[in-house]
Structure formats: C-alpha cells, structure tokens
Amino acid sequence: MTNILDDEQRILAARVALTRQIERGSVVLSSRLAGAFLNVPRHPFVPVFYRRDGERFIPWRITDGDADAWLDAVYTDDSLITEVDGVHAEDASPGGRTGVPTSSSTAPSLMADMLDALDVDEGHDVYEAGTGTGYNAGALCFLAGDEHVTTIDSTESLTDKARLRLGAIGYAPLVIHGDGARSFPADMLYDRIIATASVRRVPPAWLERLRLGGIMVVPIKGTLAGGMVARLTKLADGAAVGYILHTPAAFMPLKSATETPPQVPVVQDGPGGDAVLSARILDDWTFSFFAQLHMPPDLIRTYGKNNDGLHVTTLYDPADGSATRIDDMPDGPPRFTNSGPRNLWEPIEAAHKLWQELNRPRREWFTIEVTRAEQTVRYTAPAGRVHSWTL
C-alpha cells in the first residue's frame, strides 16, 4: 500500500488548498507570505495531535484509520491540540486522556495574520518566543533565511523535536531551550520579535532586544479567553508603539519554570447581593478584551456549574485575597458573593456599561504603547476623549 505522504502531488494539493482557505478568510496574503504556506509543509511538524471525542482527547496518527482524513485535518485552517495537561500527543496512550489543552499548533490563518503584521523580509534577524511544533519557525525561515531565525521554547522535548523536523525540510535556525521572556544569545539584537504564546505584559527584555524601527507582534492575554495581538514598532526614544490587530487570539501562556499558579479559594455563602449581569458575559470575545483592561493584572477567573447546574464564575485576586463568586440563579437575577476586602464583579459591570456607551468599540480601534516604565492601551472616542488603561 502506498504511503500517502510519499505522494508529492497529494501533499502539494493539500498545501495549495490550505493557502486558498487562508485567502478566503480575512487575511490578504502577499506573494511571499503565500509562498511560505505553499513551500513549508505542516504535516512533518504535527505527526500526532489530539482530536476531541466527547470529554476525552484522543491522539491521532496517520496510521490510525483513514489517512486521507488525517491529512485533510492537518491542512485545514484550524488549530491542532498537541499537548493536554503537559502530555504531548506523541506520548499519550491510544485511549487518550481528559484534561486541559496546554499546547497547540496555531490556526494557519492566525499565523498568517501575525506574520503579515510582522512584515519579515529576507535578511531580517527574527526572534520567536514559543517554538511549539516548529511550523511557524519554518515559515520564518522561508521569509528571513534560516540563518537569521532564533526560536526558543521552555519545553526541551519540543525544541529537540522542532530542531529535527526543521532540519528534515532543510532549515537550521538557532533553536534554544530556555525562557522565551528573557533567554537571548549574548548581545544579539533583532529586527523582528514574535511570540506564539501569550503574555500578560510585554517582557522588558523584548523591548531592549528590538532594534530601532523593529517590529514586535505579541499576543497579550490575562485570565479571559479573548486576548489581543499587539503590533508594536520601536521608536528613537526607546518606546514601542502600535495598535491591536482585529483578530481575537486565545494563545496559551508563555511558560516559565518559575511560575506556580495560585490556588483559587472556594467562596462560601456570605455577604453579597443581586448582580446586573451574568458572568457568562465574559465568554463574549467582543467584550472580554475590554473587560480584561479593567481587571487587576494577576486576577484569575475559574468557572463551571453551580449546585443548580447553572453557570458560576469565581474571580480571585491573589494580591489582596479578594474573591467574588457570581452565580446564575434558577429564577431572578444572578447573585454575587464576596470574600475579602473587594467586590471584583462591580468593576466588570461598570466596564460593560462603558463599553456599551462607547458603542462597543472593536479591538483594532485601540492603540498600545510600551515603555520601560509602563504599558498603556488607549482608545480615542470620535468626540476626541482619550480613554487609557495600564496593563
């Protein structure tokens, strides 16, 4: 039986189909960017990925049944889950596992949107934080030349595999196992910096290592799913300024070996009252971006079902121990319950009111400025009033 991966025409047709899918979306591909998706194959970087089966994630290999279906899934414009609770799909048992996805191969259209914003030319020195599978690094090698690409990841098994897979298609970038927020080759500066994992604030080292006139494309996300992607250009005064891309992006956080996520406490019944809004509003990506601007930097949200089988969200700020639980109720308005010195739901409801008063501004209407001292997001209303928030 012929191996489908040996059929060069079939693989080429799959890459062409993927490129056409991207172009049918919101990204207008330049000829060079289209060339990256036509020339860099995706399947070598995701030989195994998870598919959902109810509550379980099942590893899927080309040898698991229908090879054509597997290849079509690889070359569909969708993200592919490659790790669940720290277990890579290649290391998972055939029966799969339950848990939370912790790494994935980014949807190609989002890759294209970010690469288009990055505006890479041949010869640009590029730093990528978050190697992952290595597929995006492959596109960067095509655009800049592999000798100009540095890519880093905190998981050594990922960098080892990415190095091998990039080599197998003819690329030899510098692949580093380290902390993407601060591990750089000595004295190296970059024309372009891109992150394929989210950060709460732009790491100071990225600003320092970006050359004058250089561009950064960075996913910024707090506890809510609907994050933002910032496109920043470094100015002569050392600041980086730019705007937010139109595409929501729920990238997984940039990993650091020193991070220990705090435990969210159980909020017992106690002081509280009626809420105006259900906490389900935080799942609306058109609002969650704006809501995140009104949250303390380290605030955590968890959610699930309450005793009535209805939605419940808990907000927790480890800075002062404040916690607020918001329960949907069988009858009547939602209820909030507080623990600690502050009501964490009140500013979210105030943010929602402001968002509506501003006619629900889109994320691409916001600008961002990053300096050594502070990081600020701004929105200028049509009447000229400037609203600003510190990240």
Average pLDDT score over residue span 376-386 = 97
Whether 343 maps to a domain, the answer reads yes
Whether 381 maps to a domain, the answer reads no
DSSP string, 364-385: GGEEEEE-SS-EEEEEE-TTS-
Angle of helix 8-24 relative to helix 31-39, nearest 10 degrees? 140
Whether 359 shows a pLDDT value over 90: the answer reads: yes
Here the tokens at position 386 are 């400037």
Give the SS3 label for residue 263: coil
DSSP string, 332-358: SS-EEEEESS--SSHHHHHHHHHHHHT
- Could you read off the pLDDT of 5-61 as tens digits, one per residue? 888 999 999 999 999 999 987 788 999 999 999 999 999 999 999 999 999 999 999
Whether 325 maps to a domain, the answer reads yes
Whether 347 maps to a domain, the answer reads yes
- Could you read off the pLDDT of 272-294 as tens digits, one per residue? 999 999 999 999 999 999 999 99
Q: How much is the mean pLDDT over the chain? A: 94
pLDDT attached to residue 250:
82
Q: Which is nearest to 205 in space by CA: 353, 372, 48, 84?
A: 372
User: Which of the pair, 110 or 259, is modelled with greater confidence?
Assistant: 110
Q: Which is nearest to 275 in space by CA: 349, 218, 344?
A: 349
pLDDT attached to residue 4:
85
- As a whole-number percent, the residues of the chain with pLDDT over 70 amount to 98
- Could you read off the pLDDT of 165-211 as tens digits, one per residue? 999 999 999 999 999 999 999 999 999 999 999 999 999 999 999 99
* Residues in the chain, overall count: 391
Q: Between vectors from CA 109 to CA 107 and to CA 111, what angle results, nearest 5°? A: 70
Instruction: Kindly list the distances between the CA atom of residue 308 and the CA atoms of 204, 305, 328, in Å, as whole numbers in the listed order.
Output: 46, 8, 9
User: Which of the pair, 240 or 262, is modelled with greater confidence?
Assistant: 240
Do 285 and 355 touch, CB atoms closer than 8 A?
no
Average pLDDT score over residue span 131-152 = 97
Whether 77 shows a pLDDT value over 80: the answer reads: yes
Do 362 and 290 touch, CB atoms closer than 8 A?
no
pLDDT attached to residue 110:
95
pLDDT attached to residue 259:
59
Tell me if the pTM is above 0.75.
Answer: yes
Starting at the earlier edge strand, list the strands of the sheet with 126-129.
174-177, 149-153, 126-129, 190-195, 210-220, 228-234, 240-244, 366-370, 375-380, 386-390
pLDDT attached to residue 1:
42
Could you tell me where the DSSP H helices lie in the chain? 8-24, 31-39, 67-74, 108-118, 135-144, 156-168, 204-209, 285-292, 346-357
Give the SS3 label for residue 195: strand
pLDDT attached to residue 256:
65
Instruction: Kindly list the distances between the CA atom of residue 64 and the CA atoms of 34, 46, 237, in Å, as whole numbers in the listed order.
Output: 31, 14, 56
Count of structural domains, the chain: 1
Instruction: Kindly list the distances between the CA atom of residue 58 and the CA atoms of 55, 61, 90, in Å, as whole numbers in the listed order.
Output: 10, 10, 11
Q: How many of the other CB atoms lie within 10 Å of CB of 70? A: 22
Whether 143 maps to a domain, the answer reads no
Dihedrals φ, ψ of 336, to 5°?
Answer: -110, 150
Whether 154 shows a pLDDT value over 60: the answer reads: yes
Whether 237 maps to a domain, the answer reads no
DSSP string, 224-256: SS-BEEEEEEE-TTS-EEEEE-SS-B-PPBPP-
- CA atoms of 191 and 232, how far apart (whole Å): 12
DSSP 325: E
Band (pLDDT 50/70/90 cuts) for residue 79 is very high
- Can you say how many angstroms the Cα of residue 325 is from the centroid of all Cα atoms in its chain? 26
pLDDT attached to residue 307:
86
Give the range of the structural domain holding residue 280, as residue numbers without chain letter: 272-355
Whether 314 maps to a domain, the answer reads yes
